[in-house]
Homo-oligomer: A and B are copies of this chain.
Amino acid sequence: MKPMNIGLLGLGTVGAGTYTVLSRNAEEITRRAGRPIRIVVVAEKNLVRANEIVKGTCRVVDDAFAVVNDPEVDVVIELIGGYGVARELVLKAIANGKHVVTANKALLAMHGNEIFAEAQKKGVMVAFEAAVAGGIPIIKAVREGLSANRIEWIAGIINGTTNFILSEMREKGLSFDSVLKEAQRLGYAEADPTFDIEGVDAGHKITILSSIAFGIPMQFDKAYVEGISKLDGKDIRYAEEMGYRIKLLGITKRSNAGVELRVHPTLIPAKRLIANVEGAMNAVVVQGDAVGPTLYYGKGAGAEPTASAVIADLVDVTRLHTADPEHRVPHLAFQPDQMVDLPILPIAEVQSCYYLRLRVQDEPGVLADITRVLADEKISIDAVIQKEPGEGEKEADLILLTHLISEKWMNGAISKLEKLPVVVGKVTRIRMEELGK
């Protein structure tokens, strides 16, 4: 049977991994797909590296546009990253009637609506399993495996760098800065780690998951994104004493008022399976109304795990490309004319429970003053720990866990707490999620 001809854009880590896995497992993949899937041309600026990898098994060019315009190419794999030239290349490939497979979450979160609309017009597929949680087939699970369900919420550890840092901070009692350096040395964090540690990467991924869960357009600009760079190791310890772990979660939830879309450090009960996901691993919990909670776990990055997702998309495209476009799985899980425009809630409107840490004077009546402020704001307290002051100190840490309350009310209460004479400095606030019973 005629092979499926692939044009590969970018031969970095994931590109090289894709080449390697496609070659090594060619026989197994052909047995599954029903026809060979072969890379016929690679575009890579570093021609020396490219030729060392492909060793003459396919053409190598340095102009990516030559690949998307190449009549021999059936499917373009976009692994260049970013959303400048990558967007142009993807749109050009679509315009040329080629299917596209991409791992580019930033591109989809920012320009997905435009890209999927163009793909729809041209009747081609844009597949993106590798864009969220690397090798975990989470796009397929949400879009196809759970299609019977009204999805209620999704919460995921979808950035390996930050989960590695949080795991090390907890296990070794180290500070954020020292673990970040270690992560950079080990290759778990980039030289410029901003996108990971400030939650932007997780924000792109939860934007994509939110879209396919609820059938809404990609709206990354409305996501609330808060990273872990200001997280104090102290809070990880105190959380643990109270039976919680702190994880950087991407969360999206449907309520009557709209859709929550947020990334932030989150306390979750230590006994939840997802709380025990350590190191650079990823895991996503999806709550459906019929199925209840389901969890998907695996490697969220790296050459071969990401290649696994890229190639699964190639097999899907190979199996489905002759089907009528209207009988394929819709790009965003729902039929294009069935998307809805639920509003994304501003973070001030989101309800959650809170962990609060206050630095307080070690004197009588402090707890009474503080709990009075919270009571006045109708905030119920679930648990309190008052720490003894350190040797020779006159101040102590006070930790409070609250019941469910709107962020805007919590903001008001925190302002008032910070004005109390017994409270020293700023109040630390971390959101909490139960994630099921």
Q: List the interface of chain A (C-beta within 8 A of B).
A: 17, 21-22, 24-25, 28-34, 129, 135-137, 140-141, 144-150, 215, 273, 276-277, 283, 288-299, 304-305, 307-312, 314-316, 319-324, 326-330, 333-335, 338
Contacts and interface: CB of A to CB of B under 8 A. Distances in A.
Contact of A329 (B297, B319, B327): B319
B273 A291 contact: no
Contact of A323 (B25, B129, B327): B327
B334 A327 contact: no
Contacts of A304: 289-292
B149 A308 contact: yes
A291 B298 contact: yes
Most buried by B among A33, A291, A316, A323: A291
Contact of A315 (B135, B147, B322): B147
Given A308-B288, A327-B319, A148 B298 contact: no
Given A276-B273, A295-B295, A327-B323, A290 B308 contact: yes
A291 B297 CA distance: 11
Contact of A335 (B34, B273, B327): B34
A294 B321 CA distance: 28
Closest 8 interchain pairs by CB?
Answer: A137-B145, A148-B311, A294-B298, A135-B291, A291-B308, A31-B338, A295-B297, A323-B323
A428 to B, nearest CB: 30
A304 B294 CA distance: 13
Contact of A28 (B25, B150, B309): B150
A324 B327 CA distance: 11
B327 A135 contact: no
A318 to B, nearest CB: 9
Q: Which of A30, A277, A322, A338 has the most CB of B within 10 A?
A: A338
Given A34-B335, A147-B315, A273-B273, 17 more contacts: A24-B289, A34-B330, A135-B290, A137-B145, A137-B146, A144-B315, A148-B308, A148-B315, A273-B276, A291-B298, A291-B299, A291-B304, A292-B299, A295-B298, A296-B296, A297-B297, A322-B327
B21 A312 contact: no
B316 A290 contact: no
Number of copies of chain A assembled together = 2
Nearest to A292: B299
Contacts of A298: 291-295
A137 B148 contact: no
B305 A291 contact: yes
Which one of A28, A32, A144 has the highest number of Cβ atoms from chain B below 10 Å of its Cβ?
A32
B297 A294 contact: yes
B145 A141 contact: yes
A333 B292 CA distance: 27
Contacts of A137: 140-141, 144-146, 294
Contact of A147 (B24, B33, B150): B33
B290 A305 contact: yes
A215 B32 CA distance: 9
Contact of A149 (B25, B297, B319): B25
The winner among A136, A144, A321, A323 for most chain B CB atoms within 10 A is A144
A140 B316 CA distance: 12
A160 to B, nearest CB: 12
A146 B294 contact: no
Most B-side CB within 10 Å, residue of A146, A305, A324: A146
A333 B32 CA distance: 6
Contact of A312 (B30, B145, B316): B145
Nearest to A286: B298
A306 to B, nearest CB: 9
Contacts of A299: 291-294
Contact of A25 (B32, B150, B309): B150
A322 B324 contact: yes
